[in-house]
Structure 1
Amino acid sequence: MSEITFHSRVGEAETALRELFPATPLQFNEHLSAKYGARIFLKREDLTPVRSYKIRGAFNFMRKRIEAGLSSGAFCCASAGNHAQGFAFACRFFGLKGRVFMPVTTPQQKIQKTKIFGGDAIEVELIGDYFDDCYAAAKAYAATGQAALVPPFDHEDIIEGQATVALELVQQLGDENADMLVLPVGGGGLSSGVTRYFRENAGSRPAIRYAEPAGAASLRTSLSEGRLVRLKQVEGFVDGAAVAEIGAIPFETLRDVRPEHVVLSPEGRLCGTMLEMLNIEGIVLEPAGALAIDALKDLAPVIAGKTVVLVVSGSNFDFERLPDVKERALRFDGLKKYLILRLAQRPGALRDFLENLGPDDDVSRFEYLKKSARDFGSILIGIETKNPASFDAIFRRLDESGTAYRDITDDPIMADLLI
């Protein structure tokens, strides 16, 4: 009798997955390869039926419980995004009932997509304002015995399912060895599963680097402190990877990773990467799906001439967020700033200010904050330019003219209130 290993379990999961969809493609990318002087391949997890890798883990978890006779005939989960959609698709495949708990604040687009993938097999229950609220509701519902809770990442069966990405990569690379593999990190199911698969692989073992949002660096923080750490505050923009605490089981696999091998992607820079891939390659990516690609900006010095594989984790992007993505990218690149001006309440004061702008500078927003002052008024103004250096000239001219102003572009409190 052959030994049951992690590799063999992943192999079983991969075979079962083929009933749902073929292996996602591994594509050579001309644009990124030319830009970084390397051979860069994209593992397109955004091309699964639910446009993310999450279907792998959810399906494997449910499959194993059904085969073991542990299923009560129903499942439940808590999610506002990709996990919910993968869960719904798997419920419909197995013909079993599922209940998805989502925050009341979940965008309607995500709710509708989940219902489409699940069809008559699922029910969606909106509860609470935050994920923790609906996760507590899902656990309470599972505790009644009416359904089995399908966790998003912190379970061996979920990790095995996500690790099928690694098995496909080995098969697709064939005789070509990858020098480096870059993995996005959220809760850690994908990153730990793929890492473990390659660590235990008898063949080639690429160097592995990890990509996290700078505003949700749960893995890197935990690695730096040598223990599992729950972040006190998380920037939620990269919703597919904005996790306050990486899973306990994934962390055990990743705890020996060097902290400097985790690349932190600033949210604004990530937005620029999303726009680049959309405008140049026609590839729609959600913020978490662009993490591995964005990490190349930090890895550029060490990848020249090498073969690099990037896991593109998902493309469930709501285009209503596109203006926010553009805004964040411009501000990160220094091409857009917001100022509060204090201008004299006299004819010609605004015209005098505008003379401080150059030919490539444009006013994108203008709003009086206080109109009733007799001598001076406060104005919120947004300025876009084609060259970040233009702002040095603008600020110099403002200082020389004695104009009172405050740059609030990177002031989180003021920016949230006024912008």
Structure 2
Amino acid sequence: MSVFTERVGLAAQALRDLFPETPLQENDYLSKKTGARIFLKREDLTPVRSYKLRGAFNFMRKVIANGAGTEGFVCASAGNHAQGFAYACRHFSREGVVFMPVTTPQQKIDKTKLFGGEWIKIRLVGDFFEDCYSAATDFAETSHALMVPPFDHSDIIEGQATVAHELVSQLGAELEGATVILPVGGGGLAAGISSFLQEERIDTRFVFAEPAGAPSLERSLSSGKRMKLPQVDNFVDGAAVAEIGREPFKSLKRFSPQDVRLIPENRLCSTMIEMLNVEGVVLEPAGALAIDALKDFSRKEIRGRTIIAVVSGGNFDFERLPDVKERSLRFEGLKKYFIFRFPQRPGALRDFLDLLGPDDDITRFEYLKKSARNFGSVLIGIETKDRRNFSILRKRFDEAGWGYQDITDDETIANLLI
């Protein structure tokens, strides 16, 4: 047994004071769909609905055991790390200050307060996370409170590795030859699990699922060194990290860029909707990354294999559901947006409506501007029940002489108008 695995074992034992092992569930629906044996490691079922509690708890546990942390703790987060941090502060009866951007949804503020109780204070600073993080760092220096990082620390990685410790006890010999799909943001979870199973000499294949709009691990592996992305798509907010952590990358740099699957954000939305409708499982975007990565494997490639997908979190704000459904429909090809050159004459709208089929529905109709004296530009959203209906519609539009442009996949125009 290595020093690392021994420490992870101690962390796992200490965690039992907070919650039992999270379930490892064989999922019949995904297994039948893929032809493989699909197991879900349900980190969305911790007390804070994410794995982040593990790392924050382990960090504080070791600091307190060494006689430090008497001045309290501080973190900067608007998401799962804040909630795990708050829960740990309450457990240890230590004061903690959470810095969040002013733009943080009230739901996340309220949940963090709930988990931390009287031991937590929340400070809203700045419009962007960078401002918030800077304020937290300044506070830590002046107050002597200890900063608890979200992923870039060996004790955080050690805490997240307790997921792998549980996998060994839950699946045993069946882990040999299995594929483990790990979501990646800052890299703490991926580094911890992959390192533990490797040091336990368990023959597993690792696949890393990363948002296509925030491929910090993939870019770093391709370059051979940590790369900071100039910009990221923040939709997968639990994993939208511009730069992989320094400590996690020390472990993950042994892997190949081909081990990373870049998950399209709109496709991810379809997976979230599918899991909600079919399985009744509520997932946040980052929590669905590993499940969505199954779509990148052919049935022939994984038939009969054992695959473990780590479900990292279920803190989903249902106010985001309309956007998730919209993105899902667009990915599935069931909803499109067009700009039409609409004639300014009586009966024009009726002529247009007559071209629609019984399964086609207009979900948006908005005049943008009057392009000329006799024509106007109109934004029209159309939703249908079968993606093949759009081929029929285009043919009808062309035959009727309508001028139009499909802007569904034009990111620049769509972001401005839709």
TM over 0.5: yes
Residue-by-residue CA offset, 1:13-57 (whole Å, 9 max, x unaligned) = 111111111110111111001111111111000000000000000
- Following the alignment from structure 2 to structure 1, what is the Cα–Cα distance between the partners of residues 298 and 185? 23
Q: Which residue of 2 aligns with 1:56?
A: 54
Structure 1 residues 66-121: Cα deviation after superposition (integer angstroms, max 9, x where no partner): 11112233000000100000000000000010000001111100000000000000
User: Is the partner of 1:392 in helix, strand or coil?
Assistant: helix
The residue number in structure 2 matching 1:219 is: 217
What is the aligned partner in structure 2 of residue 186 from structure 1? 185
Find the counterpart in structure 2 of residue 232 from structure 1.
230
Query: How much has 1:371 moved relative to structure 2?
Result: 5.5
Q: Is the 8 A contact 1:103 1:127 kept in 2?
A: yes
How far did residue 373 of structure 1 move? Answer: 5.2
In structure 1, the residue corresponding to 2:376 is in which secondary structure?
A: strand
- Read off the aligned partner of 2:271 and give its amino acid letter: T
Distance 1:306 1:300 in 2: 12
Contact 2:371 2:377 (8 Å CA) reproduced: no
Q: TM-score, normalised by structure 1?
A: 0.97
1:117-266 matches, within 5 Å, as 117-178=115-176, 179-202=178-201, 204-266=202-264
- Partners of 2:139 and 2:410 in 1: how far apart? 42
> C-alpha distance in 2, partners of 1:333/1:276?
12
Q: Percent identity?
A: 65
How far residue 385 of structure 1 moved from its aligned partner, in angstroms, is: 1.2
| Worse-superposed segment, 226-235 or 383-392 | 383-392
Match of 1:412 in 2: 411
CA distance in 2, matches of 1:221, 1:304: 30
* Equivalent-residue separation in structure 2 for 1:313 and 1:146 (angstroms): 32
In the alignment, is the contact (CA less than 8 A) between 2:286 and 2:312 conserved in 1?
yes
Query: How much has 1:176 moved relative to structure 2?
Result: 2.3
SS in 2 for 1:295: helix
- Give 1:28's aligned residue: 26
Question: Alpha-carbon deviation of 1:4?
Answer: 6.6
Other-structure match for 1:74: 72
Distance 2:354 2:225 in 1: 56
Alignment of 1:268-279 (within 5 A): 268-279=266-277
How far apart in 1 are the matches of 2:218 and 2:332?
Answer: 25
Does the CA contact (< 8 Å) of 2:78 and 2:101 recur in 1? Answer: yes
8 Å CA contact retained: 1:370, 1:378: yes
Contact 2:26 2:38 in 1 (8 A): yes
Runs of 4+ deviating beyond 6 Å: none
- The SS at the match of 1:330 is helix
Tell me the residue number matched to 2:304: 305
Instruction: Please state how far the C-alpha of 1:175 moved relative to its aligned partner.
Output: 3.2
Q: Is the 8 A contact 1:44 1:312 kept in 2?
A: yes
Hey, what's the Cα distance between the residues in 2 that align with 1:378 and 1:257? 51
Residue type of the alignment partner of 1:160: E
Q: Distance in 1 between matches of 2:272 and 2:203?
A: 29
Determine the C-alpha separation between the residues in 1 that align with 2:346 and 2:402: 15
SS in 1 for 2:394: helix
- Asked whether the equivalents of residues 97 and 121 of structure 2 are also in contact (C-alpha less than 8 Å), the reply is yes
Change in Cα spacing, 1:372 to 1:397, as seen in structure 2 (3 Å) is: closer
CA distance in 1, matches of 2:110, 2:278: 29
1:378 aligns with: 377
How many equivalent residue pairs? Answer: 416
Deviation at 1:335, TM superposition (A): 0.9
Q: What's the C-alpha RMSD, in Å, of the aligned pairs?
A: 1.3
Aligned to 2:326: 327
Superposed CA deviations along residues 358-401 of structure 1, whole A, max 9, x for unmatched, are 22211111112226953111111100112222222222222232
Contact 1:72 1:146 in 2 (8 A): no
TM-aligned CA deviation for residue 407 of structure 1: 1.3
Does structure 1 residue 105 correspond to structure 2 residue 103?
yes
Q: Which runs of 5+ in 2 are unaligned?
A: none
Question: Partner of 2:102: helix, strand, or coil?
Answer: coil
CA contact 1:72–1:148 (8 Å) conserved in 2: no
One-letter amino acid of the counterpart of residue 49, structure 2: R
Q: Is the 8 A contact 2:2 2:199 kept in 1?
A: no
Q: Who is 1:91 aligned against? A: 89
